[in-house]
Amino acid sequence: MSILAVAEQRKSPEGQPVWNRMSWETLAAAQQLAREMNLPASAAVAGHGIQQLGGELASRQFEKAYIVEHPLLESYTPDAYAAALRQLVERVKPALVLFPHSYQVRDFLPKLATSLGRVAVSDVVAHRVEGGKLTLVRQLFQGKVNADVSFTSAGPNFASLQAGAYRAGQLQPGTAALETFTPELDPGSIRTKPLELFRESQRAVDLGAAELIVSVGRGIKEAENIELVRKLAEALGAELAASRPICDAGWLPMERQVGSSGQTVAPKMYLAVGISGAIQHLVGMKGARTVVAINKDPNAPIFEIADYGIVGDLFQVVPELTEAVRKAK
Amino acid sequence: MKIVVAVKQVPARDSQLRIAPAGQWIEEADLSYEINEPDAYALEEGLQLKEKHGGEVVVLCAGPARAAQTVREALAKGADRAIHIEEENLGAFDPLATARLLAAALQPEAPDLILTGLQSDDFGYGQTGVIMAELLGLPHATIIMQVEKQNGHIRVKRELEEGWFQNVEMPLPALLTIQSGISRLRYATLMGIKKAKTKELKRLTAAELGVAPDSPKIALERIYLPERAKRTQLFDGSPKEAAAQLVEKLKFEARVI
């Protein structure tokens, strides 16, 4: 019985294996849960030519650090990664396996869990241990509601952790016994062929450097209404940004999108207009010093991180705010 | 190409949710419902692939009787026929049981391609599609932003973090989970709505498919509204008064004006 944290690496554009930074949060969470549940914790990383990364795991406070090494793990495929990690889980027999809730994990974890007759609890934001029983907290309805979820059977159980839910800084140094695990993988069983990694276009707008950002979400309803928010941004001298649905609809260019699939920003002020605050958006802007939200729903998740807020109809509030800003300058 | 698109009906995005007294689920009484947004994009992609390559689009939906509305809308947009697994208590199904239900209905269809949204707006597990692929023994790819059919296989564009993408090739049959924004959604035309009434809508039950939600692997114990991490200063009054108070704070407290 133990807790196993599976860290994630990927190839940098230069071809070197590098950590997905979310891995450190997962490793720290594994140490924390292990303490609270009185279990040993181990860590693993899968890939090819990743000895150095394995060495980094071995210098943290874990019982064991596993390098899951195979040439067929060089490029990520769900078939190879699920098979390799299933074999590791069958060997190590952990009670609980933790992952970062990354795009890669979302791709293979449900497959891995299903192959072992389990269901992973995805996108966990917190946990409680009471009388040895683990309860995980996750969000429903785009972050509007929280849910307590528990496993109903003995391990191995699986969970993935939301970015920012655990603190990487809590990770304890130490020493772990380093072990290389070589899974049996058959090239014929890998059905998908990964091709090149690429970025769409050069970004003309660097929102990351903006001091003030006014951002618009689906509460704006129509493309024509964006003018209203643009005027507010102009009055403030702020960059105009948007949540994903606005860029998906083509109302603003993709390069103005803030969130997990867009840009990450950390302005002095982030003013969110008609943005409910789904986690995919929040991860892109929660580094802002001051967050202001204008939304008609008092329970919108954006208010959980807002310093200032107005609950009301943006079509009435925004013109008044633009006017007040102009006067104040 | 025979394409099955799995869709789900969820509470409308702008719903103000209230927790039901037992704390097990939300108050459903006065909610309005709509198609899960990523599923709407999966349907759109299915329809576009059919327009390019010919074939058939079958809509598959598991949900209570009210979900028939979402199924009819999909038919009106251009799907050829539909399968509705009518199940009032889908909340008792964990993602594995739900995927079993969908897979049981899918199997006899033997589609070339299965599409579904990358996650649902209600539970948001983001797992049902991938579990279905595993149960059906099919290759899959998730968070897809483009699908291109080539000779006997497909090439898809996977979205990764921070603006990165990756192309992936795979043989058919396969399963893809589609990301919102892959293309522009169409509206149903009057003609489409009229035609939908004559299209085949097959109703099945979980019992008929031989799938029961027995022994769920994970249990939803309780739901509740999240606590606020920050104390938000809220400004009341008329829009003009609230705006004036906010500007005051932005100027003298946050010092950003």
**pLDDT at residue A201, rounded to an integer:** 63
pLDDT band at A203, cuts 50/70/90?
low
Using one digit for the tens of pLDDT, what is the confidence trace for B87-104?
Answer: 998 888 999 999 999 999
Residue A202 has pLDDT above 80, yes or no: no
Residues A182 and A92 in one domain: yes
Please give the share of chain A, as a percent, with pLDDT higher than 70: 99
A199, part of any domain:
no
Give the single-character DSSP code of B228.
P
A261, part of any domain:
yes
Give the single-character DSSP code of B118.
S
pLDDT band at A31, cuts 50/70/90?
very high
Residues A122 and A250 in one domain: no
Residues A139 and A231 in one domain: no
Q: Which of B17, B34, B45, B15 is nearest to B181 (CA)?
A: B45
pTM confidence score: 0.91
Residue B235 has pLDDT above 90, yes or no: yes
Using one digit for the tens of pLDDT, what is the confidence trace for A280-312?
Answer: 899 899 889 999 999 999 989 999 899 999 999
Please state which CATH number belongs to domain B2-209. 3.40.50.620
B96 and A119 within 8 Å at the Cβ level: the answer is yes
**pLDDT at residue A133, rounded to an integer:** 93
**pLDDT at residue B231, rounded to an integer:** 82
**pLDDT at residue B164, rounded to an integer:** 86
pLDDT band at A164, cuts 50/70/90?
confident
Beta-strand runs (E) in A93-235 = 96-100, 121-130, 133-140, 145-151, 157-161, 177-181, 193-199, 212-216
Residues A263 and A319 in one domain: yes
Using one digit for the tens of pLDDT, what is the confidence trace for B47-67?
Answer: 999 999 999 999 999 999 999
pLDDT band at B163, cuts 50/70/90?
confident
A65, part of any domain:
yes
CB pairs under 8 A between A and B: 266
**pLDDT at residue A85, rounded to an integer:** 98
Q: Which domain covers residue A220, as residue numbers?
A: 207-328
Selected residues 20-59 of chain B with any CB under 8 Å from a CB in chain A: 26
**Which residues are CB-contacts of A294 (< 8 A; sequence separation ≥ 6)?**
A271, A272, A273, A274, A309, A310, A312, A314, A317, A318, A321
Residues A157 and A286 in one domain: no
| Residue appearing with tokens 């979400």 | A217
Residue B162 has pLDDT above 80, yes or no: no
Residues A47 and A17 in one domain: yes
Rounded to the nearest 5 degrees, what angle is found at the Cα of B73, between the Cα atoms of A225 and B29?
A: 80
CA distance B181 to chain A (A): 4
Chain B CB contacts of A293 below 8 Å: 232
Lowest mean pLDDT among A32-36, B77-81, B150-154: B150-154
**pLDDT at residue B30, rounded to an integer:** 86
Chain B CB contacts of A290 below 8 Å: 250, 254, 256
CATH number at residue A38: 3.40.50.620
Chain B CB contacts of A308 below 8 Å: 232-235, 246, 249-250, 254
A186 Cβ under 8 Å from any chain B Cβ: no
**pLDDT at residue A279, rounded to an integer:** 86
CATH number at residue A321: 3.40.50.1220
d(C-alpha A143, C-alpha B253), whole Å: 29
- Phi/psi-derived region of residue A250, left when phi > 0, alpha when psi is between -120 and 50, beta in every other case: left
Residues A21 and A160 in one domain: yes
* Mean pLDDT, chain B, whole residue set: 95
ipTM: 0.93
Domains: count for chain A: 2
Residues A165 and A303 in one domain: no
d(C-alpha B156, C-alpha A191), whole Å: 14
Residues A159 and A307 in one domain: no
pLDDT band at A317, cuts 50/70/90?
very high
**SS3 (DSSP) at B175:** strand
* Mean pLDDT, chain A, whole residue set: 94
Residues A43 and A173 in one domain: yes
Strand partners, A272: A215, A293
A197, part of any domain:
no
Compute how many other C-beta atoms are within 10 angstroms of the C-beta atom of residue B179: 24
B159 Cβ under 8 Å from any chain A Cβ: yes
pLDDT band at A35, cuts 50/70/90?
very high
pLDDT band at A200, cuts 50/70/90?
confident
Domain limits, chain B: 2-209, 228-257
Of A147, A162, A189, the residue that ends a domain is A189
d(C-alpha A131, C-alpha B242), whole Å: 48
B161 and A260 within 8 Å at the Cβ level: the answer is yes
d(C-alpha A145, C-alpha A140), whole Å: 5
d(C-alpha B224, C-alpha B19), whole Å: 7
Residue A147 has pLDDT above 80, yes or no: yes
